[in-house]
Amino acid sequence: MAKDGTNRGGRRVRAGDKPLPLADKISAGKAAKVLTAPELHPESMLEADDLDDAADLYGEDMPTPSDYLSARQRDGKPLGADDLFKETWKWLKERGCEKFVNPRLIEAYAQAFTRYIQCEEAISTYGLLGKHPTTGGAIASPFVQMSQSFQKQANLIWYEIFDIVKQNCTTAFVGNPQDDIMEALLSGRKGR
């Protein structure tokens, strides 16, 4: 670092080979270290004798989804993003990666993906064309652009979640869970 506070010379940031996912290292027979809670904070190890005055705490498997994920929409139906939140959380828990992903990130993904589905349903209902408010001529439906925007947002968040899983998962998994989630959401919508 120079006196003016700028970095000069040296290795470029993010240069070089990307690290292999943990599951790939293990399957290739390479040395891999799986971090566990005591290794992360060895100084915080407690003995049973140290817990005389400890409160009785109850663990919670899944954080409760925020209320806005199941809020009633203008048409009277619930948004349904809470179901997607729970499905995604279960998928992460099966892979042992739920502690690495912030629940707010899962909420953002669930909301964006559910909004994408809402836009697709509106396109199915109202079609690809709309009526211009002043001229009355045909214009592209605004739901198409909104759908693309929500899909892009959901995919970017999903890639972030999936990358966390890929880097920390010790078990091999096949397929894309997004396909199962989309199918469950669409089939669940019909009954509402």
Q: Is residue 165 part of a domain?
A: yes
Q: Is position 166 within any domain?
A: yes
Number of domains in the chain: 1
Give the residue from 4, 167, 48, 42 showing the smallest Cα distance to 101: 167
Residues in the chain, pLDDT under 70: 1, 35-60, 170-186, 188-192
* CA-to-CA separations, 45 to 42, 62, 140, in angstroms, rounded: 6, 25, 61
pLDDT of residue 41: 60
pLDDT tens-digit map of 44-71: 666 666 666 655 555 457 788 888 888 8
61 in any annotated domain? no
Neighbour count for residue 66 (Cβ, 10 Å): 16
Q: How far apart are the C-alpha atoms of 116 and 145, rounded to whole Å? A: 10
Considering the domain boundaries, does residue 173 fall inside one? yes
Domain extent at residue 112: 78-129+137-192
